[in-house]
Amino acid sequence: MIDEDFTKSLLQKHSYLTQQDSVDWVTFECVPEKLLSFVESLRDTEGFEILVDLTAIDHGEGADFRYSTVIHLYSLVQRGYLRIHSTCTDNDKPEMPSVSSIYPAANWHERETFDMFGIHFSDHPNLKRILMWDEYPHFPLRKDFPLAGIDTPLPADDVVEVTQASVEPAPMMGGPFVSSNSGSMSDSEPRAKDESWTEKKEKPV
């Protein structure tokens, strides 16, 4: 069972861990260098057999440490989840050790995280894009990436030659689907937002 005793014993066993505030499951902050050994010990000695999710957070351009990764583990023995949060130390080339050698399920999760956030997972067996095409130059889930997208050429030259098609920013104005469900109507309307047609904030070229 994941209770206070369990949390304390983990904190004692692994001195580099710090506990983070969390409203649901126990959350640890783990330094990237120790992530592999910590996760492996969780699997082998604490019974966390299942990697439920692996993703990342972009804390925004102003943050000291912009990127961090989050791992959710589940234990069928303990009947509960554990969350491990690790911060990437380099903002320009964020890097994190790959846990795919411990949990094979992490393989595609890490590829997706790389695809969307541009976080490099060292020693990953096949770190290439999984959703966007290989030549795509941007990382769409980063905070500075506009939802509408950025002008980009399509990958197939022969198709582009015939069709003249390319990736164009999607129109956002007036669509029935893009509006927040809180606040006054004049603020939640799609046209009230800082989006591709009212660019107040500078977007990457």
Partner 1 sequence: MGFACFKRLVRNKHMHMTASDVAYNGKVEGDVVVTRADAVINWIRQHSVWPMPMGLACCAIELMASAASRYDISRFGMEVMRFSPRQSDCMIVAGTVTYKMAEVVRRIYDQMGDPKWVVAMGACASTGGMYRSYSVMQGVDNIVPVDVYVSGCPPRPEALLDAMMKLQDKIGNESSVRNLRKTSAGAVK
Query: Contact with partner 1 (CB under 8 A): which of 31, 50, 76, 147?
Result: 147
Cβ–Cβ < 8 Å for 76, 50: yes
> Any residues with CB less than 8 A from the CB of 2 and at least 6 apart, and which?
25, 26, 75, 78, 79, 80, 81, 82
Cβ–Cβ < 8 Å for 130, 112: yes
Query: Contact with partner 1 (CB under 8 A): which of 31, 50, 76, 131?
Result: 131
Listed ranges 10-18, 49-57, 90-98, 125-133: which one lies at the site for partner 1 (CB under 8 A): 125-133
Query: Contact with partner 1 (CB under 8 A): which of 52, 70, 178, 192?
Result: 178
CA distance linking residue 199 with residue 46, whole number of Å: 50
Q: Bridge partners of 78?
A: none
132 in contact with partner 1 (CB under 8 A)? yes
Residue 170: closest CA among 191, 196, 141, 143: 196
Element containing residue 32 per DSSP (H, E): helix 32-45
Query: Contact with partner 1 (CB under 8 A): which of 31, 50, 77, 170?
Result: 170
* Angle at alpha carbon of residue 13, lines to 30 and 35, rounded to 5°: 25
Give the binding-site size for partner 1 (rule: CB under 8 A): 28
Binders of partner 1 in range 57-116 (CB under 8 A): none
The smaller minimum CB distance to partner 1, of residues 14 and 138, is found at: 138
3-state secondary structure of 107: helix
Query: Contact with partner 1 (CB under 8 A): which of 60, 104, 125, 155?
Result: 155
Q: Bridge partners of 29?
A: 18, 85
Residue 203: closest CA among 165, 150, 128, 155: 150
194 in contact with partner 1 (CB under 8 A)? no
150 in contact with partner 1 (CB under 8 A)? yes
Listed ranges 20-28, 54-62, 98-106, 163-171: which one lies at the site for partner 1 (CB under 8 A): 163-171
Min CB(140)–partner 1 separation in Å: 5
130 in contact with partner 1 (CB under 8 A)? no
Min CB(132)–partner 1 separation in Å: 7
Sites of contact with partner 1 (CB under 8 A):
131-133, 138, 140, 145-150, 154-156, 159, 162-163, 165, 167-172, 175-178
